[in-house]
Amino acid sequence: MTHCPICEAEKSKLLLNWKTYAIHKCATCKLIFTTPLPSDKELQDFYQGFMFNKPEFWEIKKAIVKKKKELIALFNIDQNTDHSNKKILDYGGGTGIAYKAMCELGLDTYYQDLDENAISFTQTNFGLPKKKTIRSLDETNIKFDYIFSDNVIEHVKEPIAFTKALSNNLAEGGVLVIKTPHASNTEILFNPIISINGYFLGALKYNSLFKSLQACMNRFWHSDPPRHLYSFSAPSLIKLAQQMNLKNIHPAVAYYKIPIFENTITKQFFSKDKRLSGIKSVLIRVLLLPILPIEFLLQLSKELLLFLKILTPGGIILRLTKEQSSLN
């Protein structure tokens, strides 16, 4: 019997095999999880040079503006107030878009990532100084007013220990925001590039047709080890917060949707793309042009169904607030 690593329930369902791993779903908290977990060396080797979602030069300015709006909403930041004394950490900062947005919001900003290429990219493009680069939380005594961890927790081997370590580095009254894909969501069904190409065809490499279809019906999205080791539901995130045994930490869960046209043919082939030659780019777009009206209607339908709460959103947020001491 495979125990759930979050709620410790014994009852779980084996969904499918993926490479040398097995993917399970907890019957109690609905967590999707991987066994066995990869070794530390496997993960270290996998993530060096990973640079996921590396932005094109023309995308950067727009991405920073968008990220600033998101951070203002997530942390309830008042733009009319001086925040230079507020310390914020972008944990798992990747290509540095959030780091730069935090700097532009006037926050005292720190950055962390395992990937040396990502660190170098952020230093070169966004002026990240070495003294603001956190290599390990164990090696710093800084207490942060805000910590932002965007799509990191699903990659780590021990999510409870990971969240507890971040929470322990919060200042009193501080806020930790963890964003991660939402387990078993239905929104992803309207993005066939990832649901079919990314997951169904991926499952088919290691499982029978029947098993692959069954796994998709159980919506095993966002688990593709060694990249994603977990996919979290609301009950699993609340249970995770409880398992930390920190009485001064208060959890709340919210959701976020996948950006419209993300993982679509429109986004992949009809936005600016410097990776393809001019002739090749034009030919591909001509061939794909008849699909665009269908995809446009599909995305509009998705937005309507999300608004009506018929679909479940593709992302979930765990917000942890550290209690302010009564002595202050």
pLDDT band at 275 (very low <50, low <70, confident <90, very high): low
One domain for residues 36 and 183: yes
Nearest alpha carbon to residue 169 among 87, 229, 59: 87
CA distance 104 to 212: 46
One domain for residues 173 and 295: no
Let me know if residue 327 belongs to a domain: no
Percent of the chain with pLDDT over 70: 93
One domain for residues 19 and 63: yes
| CATH code (residue 58) | 3.40.50.150
One domain for residues 166 and 282: no
Q: What is the per-residue pLDDT for 288?
A: 78
pLDDT at 276 over 60: no
One domain for residues 286 and 145: no
Let me know if residue 5 belongs to a domain: no
pLDDT at 277 over 80: no
SS (H, E, C) the chain: CCCCCCCCCCCEEEEEEECCEEEEEECCCCCEEEECCCCHHHHHHHHCCCCCCCCCHHHHHHHHHHHHHHHHHHHCCCCCCCCCCCEEEEECCCCCHHHHHHHHCCCEEEEECCCHHHHHHHHHHHCCCHHHECCCHHHCCCCEEEEEEECCHHHCCCHHHHHHHHHHCEEEEEEEEEEEEECCCCHHHHCHHHHHHHHHHHHHCCCCHHHHHHHHHCCCCCCCCCCCCEEECHHHHHHHHHHCCCCCEEEEEEEECCCCCCCCHHHHHHCCCCCCCHHHHHHHHHHHHHHHHHHHHHHHHHHHHHHCCCCCCCEEEEEEEECCCCCC
One domain for residues 95 and 215: yes
One domain for residues 117 and 172: yes
Instruction: Please say whether the beta carbons of 187 and 313 come within 8 A.
Output: yes
Q: Can you tell me the mean pLDDT for 58-84?
A: 91
- Residues 6 or more apart from 318 whose CB is under 8 A from it? 163, 177, 178, 180, 232, 237, 240, 241, 251, 252, 253
Let me know if residue 27 belongs to a domain: yes
Let me know if residue 4 belongs to a domain: no
Let me know if residue 328 belongs to a domain: no
> What is the extent of the structural domain holding 292?
265-300
One domain for residues 56 and 131: yes
pLDDT band at 47 (very low <50, low <70, confident <90, very high): confident
Let me know if residue 3 belongs to a domain: no
Let me know if residue 128 belongs to a domain: yes
One domain for residues 132 and 245: yes
Reported as a single tens digit per residue, the pLDDT across 301-316 is: 999 999 999 999 999 9
CA distance 323 to 163: 16
Sign for the pseudo-dihedral over CA of 165, 170, 172, 178 = negative
One domain for residues 286 and 139: no
Give me the number of domains the chain comprises: 2
Q: Considering the entire predicted model, what is its pTM?
A: 0.91
Let me know if residue 67 belongs to a domain: yes
pLDDT at 320 over 90: yes
One domain for residues 226 and 164: yes
Reported as a single tens digit per residue, the pLDDT across 222-237 is: 999 999 999 999 999 9
Q: Can you tell me the mean pLDDT for 11-35?
A: 96
One domain for residues 65 and 172: yes
Mean pLDDT score across all residues of the chain: 90
